[in-house]
Amino acid sequence: MKQVLLFFCFTVLLSCTSKTKQEETTTKKVYDMYEPSEMAILMNQMYAHNLKIKNEIIAGKIPTEFPTDFLNIHIAELSDFKSRNQNFQSFSTLFVAAEKEIFNSESTIAIEDRFNNAVNVCVSCHQTECTGPIPRIKKLLIQ
Q: Residues in the site for ligand HEC, rule: CB under 6 A?
A: 14-16, 36-37, 39-40, 43-44, 46-47, 50, 78-79, 82, 88, 91-92, 95, 121-122, 125-126, 129-130, 133, 137
Query: How near is the Cβ of 97 to ligand HEC at its closest, in Å?
Result: 11
Residue closer to ligand HEC, measured from CB, 62 or 69: 69
- Rounded CA separation 100/117 (Å): 11
Distance set, CA 71 to CA 46, 75, 84, 92 (Å): 11, 8, 15, 9
- Rounded CA separation 10/103 (Å): 32
CA atoms within 13 A on the CB side of 77: 6
Query: How near is the Cβ of 101 to ligand HEC at its closest, in Å?
Result: 13
Nearest-5° angle of CA 58, CA 60, CA 66?
Answer: 85
Query: How near is the Cβ of 85 to ligand HEC at its closest, in Å?
Result: 10
Residue closer to ligand HEC, measured from CB, 101 or 108: 101
If one counts every other C-beta atom within 10 angstroms of the C-beta of residue 19, the result is 21
Residue closer to ligand HEC, measured from CB, 65 or 108: 65
Residue closer to ligand HEC, measured from CB, 61 or 77: 77
Query: How near is the Cβ of 77 to ligand HEC at its closest, in Å?
Result: 7
